[in-house]
């Protein structure tokens, strides 16, 4: 069964506890008429999907502004919506590992939060349970990977290094922006236990310039190397724990499932 089947959509909708904007729009680094709209949700599936045999990990789909679905294999364009809702246990597992893709909803400002149930509020209020130095090293790994792909030291990205950007600027400027953003936000997370969203105006101006191709590849890679070294130092001196407390996190997640099922009449 695909991740965008009617059953997946039903489970995600009925169990939704948190839904926020993600992507460049959330971070405040969009360029006019270039970005699609990204959103990420967290849901609590029914007991049969968590305790029984039915499986649900995520619901993912994309659609145009008029609501028509975007076929698989077709790239999203400006005005399109990319949506993913994770089952709580999958999202929490990724978040506890420090995955940069799933952490932003924890720091989304009110204007970027589309839905937040009591259980969703508990996740945001207890976001410290998901934070550790592991997140810093995961950010570090992602930006190193992006840098390697950007300069051709590693295989192409899922976007095939955006050939139109490579043809125009000699490298994938959007990939460069993402790598630098990860470096900045990883340092914030390690130092302040927080990610500023949307990003500070000075960072927005600079990162938009990188996306526009205002800087040469050599300059961008020098910045990346400098920021990578800085992030390594931030991780070493961070007061975050080395790893999340899995026992405490397990108790928290079990409680969330139980309270949601009880509140919604599923127990």
Please write the tens of the pLDDT for every residue from 198-207. 999 999 999 9
For residue 173, the Cα-to-chain-centroid distance in whole angstroms is: 19
In this model, does residue 247 exceed pLDDT 80? yes
Orientation angle between helical segments 246-263 and 118-125, nearest 10 degrees:
160
Does one domain contain both 115 and 13?
yes
CA distances from 235 to 61, 137, 147 (A): 35, 7, 19
Does one domain contain both 122 and 20?
yes
pLDDT interval class at 159 (50, 70, 90): very low
Q: What token pair was written down for 247?
A: 């026992």
Task: Render pLDDT for 112-153 as a digit per residue (tens, 0 to 9).
Answer: 999 999 999 999 999 999 999 999 999 999 999 988 888 777
What pLDDT, on the 0 to 100 scale, is given for residue 158? 45
Question: What is the per-residue DSSP string for 152-170?
Answer: TSS---TTTT-HHHHHHHS
Does one domain contain both 172 and 200?
yes
Q: What token pair was written down for 10?
A: 């039903």
Does one domain contain both 147 and 121?
no
Does one domain contain both 183 and 138?
yes
Do the bridges between strand 16-22 and strand 113-116 make them parallel or antiparallel, or are there none, so unpaired? Answer: antiparallel
Does one domain contain both 163 and 185?
yes
What pLDDT, on the 0 to 100 scale, is given for residue 131? 99
In this model, does residue 156 exceed pLDDT 90? no
What pLDDT, on the 0 to 100 scale, is given for residue 154? 65
Does one domain contain both 233 and 248?
no
Does one domain contain both 144 and 219?
yes
Question: Which domain range does residue 160 map to?
Answer: 133-237
Does one domain contain both 232 and 249?
no
Task: Render pLDDT for 42-75 as a digit per residue (tens, 0 to 9).
Answer: 999 999 999 999 999 999 999 988 888 988 878 8
What pLDDT, on the 0 to 100 scale, is given for residue 169? 85
Does one domain contain both 155 and 201?
yes
* Averaged pLDDT for residues 32-48: 90
Does one domain contain both 80 and 186?
no
Cis amide leading into 198 (omega within 30): yes
pLDDT interval class at 157 (50, 70, 90): very low
| CATH number where 33 lies | 3.30.460
pTM of this structure: 0.92
* Averaged pLDDT for residues 239-248: 98
What is the overall mean pLDDT for the chain?
92
Number of separate domains in the chain: 2
pLDDT interval class at 197 (50, 70, 90): very high
Identify whether 17 is part of a domain: yes
What pLDDT, on the 0 to 100 scale, is given for residue 107? 98
Identify whether 148 is part of a domain: yes
Identify whether 1 is part of a domain: no
């Amino acid at each position: 069964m695909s991740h965008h089947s009617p059953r997946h959509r039903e489970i995600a909708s009925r169990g939704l506890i948190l839904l926020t904007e993600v992507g460049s729009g959330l971070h405040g680094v969009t360029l006019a008429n270039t970005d699609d709209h990204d959103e990420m949700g967290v849901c609590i599936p029914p007991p049969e999907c968590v305790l029984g045999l039915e499986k649900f990990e995520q619901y993912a789909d994309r659609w145009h502004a008029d609501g028509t679905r975007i076929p698989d294999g077709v790239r999203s364009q400006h005005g399109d919506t990319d949506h993913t809702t994770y089952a709580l246990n999958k999202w929490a597992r990724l978040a506890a590992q420090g995955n940069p893709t799933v952490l932003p909803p924890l720091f989304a400002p009110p204007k970027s939060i589309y839905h937040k149930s009591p259980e969703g509020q508990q996740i945001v209020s207890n976001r410290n349970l998901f934070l550790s130095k592991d997140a810093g090293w995961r950010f570090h790994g992602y930006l190193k990977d992006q840098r390697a792909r950007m300069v051709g030291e590693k295989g192409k990205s899922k976007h095939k290094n955006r050939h139109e950007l490579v043809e125009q600027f000699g490298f994938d400027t959007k990939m460069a922006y993402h790598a630098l953003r990860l470096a900045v936000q990883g340092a914030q997370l390690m130092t302040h236990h927080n990610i500023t969203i949307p990003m500070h105006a000075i960072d927005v101006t600079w990162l938009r310039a990188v996306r526009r191709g205002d800087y040469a590849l050599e300059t961008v890679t020098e910045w990346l190397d400098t920021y990578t070294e800085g992030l390594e130092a931030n991780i070493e001196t961070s007061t975050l724990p080395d790893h999340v407390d899995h026992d405490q996190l397990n108790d928290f997640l079990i409680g969330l499932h139980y309270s949601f099922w009880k509140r919604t009449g599923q127990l």
